[in-house]
């Protein structure tokens, strides 16, 4: 039996990424959920990590607090962009380890909503079949 699925991609080598098709997601290991996720204040509010009221505080103060809580790894002061923390295996904090599905799908950040249309290689994804 042959499948029309692409070969396994190397996440660090975008030239190996597969042309995106929604059907790929059903059989993928959620490889895109191991990429760094940049978020803005509006994403953090949508996630319920901070309130609308807290979003009025200085971003630098929020970054310090969120880093202490283990929610972010990095904060770009110039652009006010936060990078979400990842688990030790590089999985997103919000990826279910068993089902390989997003646990916050309806509230997911804009970075995730726009992938793979915007990203390291637009219209391509780092497809890897489920194990």
The whole-number pLDDT of residue 1 equals 44
Cα 98 from Cα 94, distance rounded (Å)? 12
Q: What is the pLDDT of residue 2?
A: 46
Please give the tally of structural domains in the chain: 1
Domain-embedded: residue 18: no
- Please indicate, yes or no, if residue 40 is contained in any of the structural domains: yes
CA distance to 2, 16, 33, 44, 95, per residue, from 108 (Å): 34, 26, 11, 9, 11
55 found inside a domain: yes
Domain membership of residue 116 (yes or no) is: yes
pLDDT attached to residue 111: 95
Q: Is residue 131 part of a domain?
A: no
pTM comes to 0.87
In the predicted model, residues of the chain with pLDDT beneath 70 are 1-3
Q: Does residue 130 belong to any structural domain of this protein?
A: no
In a domain, residue 15? The reply is: no
Instruction: Quote the domain boundaries for residue 118.
Output: 23-122
Say if residue 16 is exposed, middle or buried (CB neighbours under 10 Å; 0-12, 13-18, 19+).
middle
Measured distance CA(47)–CA(20) in Å, rounded: 26
């Amino acid at each position: 039996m042959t499948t029309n699925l692409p070969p396994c991609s190397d996440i660090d080598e975008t030239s190996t990424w597969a042309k995106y098709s929604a059907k790929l997601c059903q059989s993928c290991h959620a490889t895109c959920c191991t990429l760094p996720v940049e978020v803005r204040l509006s994403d953090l509010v949508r996630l319920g990590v901070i309130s609308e009221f807290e979003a009025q505080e200085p971003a630098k103060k929020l970054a310090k607090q969120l880093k202490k809580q283990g929610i972010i790894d990095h904060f770009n002061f110039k652009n006010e962009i936060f990078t979400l923390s990842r688990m030790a295996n590089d999985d997103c904090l919000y990826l279910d380890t068993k089902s390989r599905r997003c646990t916050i799908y309806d509230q997911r950040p804009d970075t995730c909503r726009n992938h793979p249309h915007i990203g390291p290689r637009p219209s391509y994804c780092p497809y890897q079949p489920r194990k």
